[in-house]
Structure 1
Amino acid sequence: MVIMNYKAGQLANRLFYFSHFISNSIAHNYKLINPSFNDYKDFFTSTATNDFNGHNISLRITGNQPFDELVRKAVNAVQKVQVKPLRNLPGVSFHEIKAYDAAPKALT
């Protein structure tokens, strides 16, 4: 399971970011949850209805959007403070897109 927790800019950035994870989730058959897209969910049929044509993709961690937002913020807080015991749980891995984006690029 992958939970996308980073609110990557505005609509175009979030669509770009989400689309890559959707295709990867389908290709590799894992559950994808993206509560960070809730701000724009009403603009698209699949996200408004949380129905991704039978694929294991959702915008919801639970059935309660305010609780999902609280969980999303709590995960962000844990990731930011890097609480070692929580970051080293078996099966839990934090991957920060921003850190990779900020890395200096090799000149070609």
Structure 2
Amino acid sequence: MNTKAIVKDWFNKWEEGRFRDLPLTDNFRHTSPFGTIEGKDTYLNIVEEKKDKFLGQTFEIHDGFYGQAHACVRYTARQGADFSLDVSEWYYFKGELIDLIVAYYHIGEIRNERQLDT
């Protein structure tokens, strides 16, 4: 399976609610603006505890780059009528499993001193 197929499988399993079947290494790490989660079991337990925040999403893939051992995908996640999040994620693979994801997205208001005046 190539990296594009693995990433497609990742998103399909999320949309189907099959998070326990995600193609992750045991040492999987997920880094986002919220911090880093270490370990497949820790990650899956957090998803289990917070299903209302993780499940029931759909994903619109805008574009991606797929290498032999890594990929980058830009997408919009939607949950219900009121939640939408634009994300760019880097995926790093060991064989046919995801070993690391580094996610980039905005999680809050922009401080006044960082605003662009137009």
By the TM > 0.5 criterion, same fold? no
Comparing both structures, which one devotes a greater share of its residues to strand?
2
Higher relative contact order (CA 8 A, sep 6+): 2
Into which bin does the TM-score normalised by the smaller protein fall? under 0.3
Structure number with the higher helix fraction is: 1
